[in-house]
A = this chain, B = another copy of it.
Amino acid sequence: MASKPVWEQIGAGFVQHYYQQFDSDRTKLADLYTDASCLTWEGVGFQGHKAIMEKITSLPFQSIQHSITTQDHQPTPDSCVMSMVVGQLKADTDQVMGFQQTFLLKNVDNKWICTNDMFRLALHNFGA
């Protein structure tokens, strides 16, 4: 049986690690970003490790649980891995909400880090 392509293993491994960390202790996500990383969270941009972690750690909920519905991974011409995730999340006692998130992963010093990260709640897609 053929094993999964390497980019899919890298992307799926990152995605699993990212949401496990996010749900258990999101301060530990710091290792995944560098000073060159970009995050766009609900349309607002943050650049660099420090600004990204300030945003993530200041999100106004105590507990959160992500569940992944679909994930797609591709290799890019610059030897990165692009991953698109569609899922659902439950923050504190709020109702379950859909979300989509895209990551671009790059190998820097033998470690896969996230250079680009975009997050949107799915509720934007069901307006009036």
A120 close to B (CB within 8 Å) = yes
Kindly state the separation between the CA atoms of A80 and B76 in the bound complex, as whole angstroms: 10
Within 8 Å of chain B (Cβ to Cβ): is A116? Answer: yes
- Contact assessment for A120 and B40 in the assembled complex, using a CB-CB cutoff below 8 Å: no
List the B side residues contacting A87 at CB < 8 Å: 125
Which residues on the B side are within 8 Å of A38 (C-beta)?
74-75
Copies of this chain assembled into the complex: 2
Q: Which residues of B contact A82 (CB under 8 A)?
A: 82, 102, 104, 116, 118
Known: A102-B102, A116-B82. A125 touches B88 (CB 8 A): yes
Given A82-B118, A120-B86, are A104 and B76 neighbors across the interface (CB < 8 Å)? yes
Cβ contacts under 8 Å, A36 to chain B: 77
Which B residue's beta carbon lies closest to that of A87?
B125
Q: Can you list 19 residue pairs at the A/B interface with Cβ under 8 Å? A: A36-B77, A40-B74, A40-B84, A43-B70, A43-B72, A45-B74, A69-B124, A72-B118, A76-B116, A77-B115, A78-B78, A82-B102, A84-B102, A84-B120, A86-B100, A98-B122, A100-B100, A100-B125, A122-B122
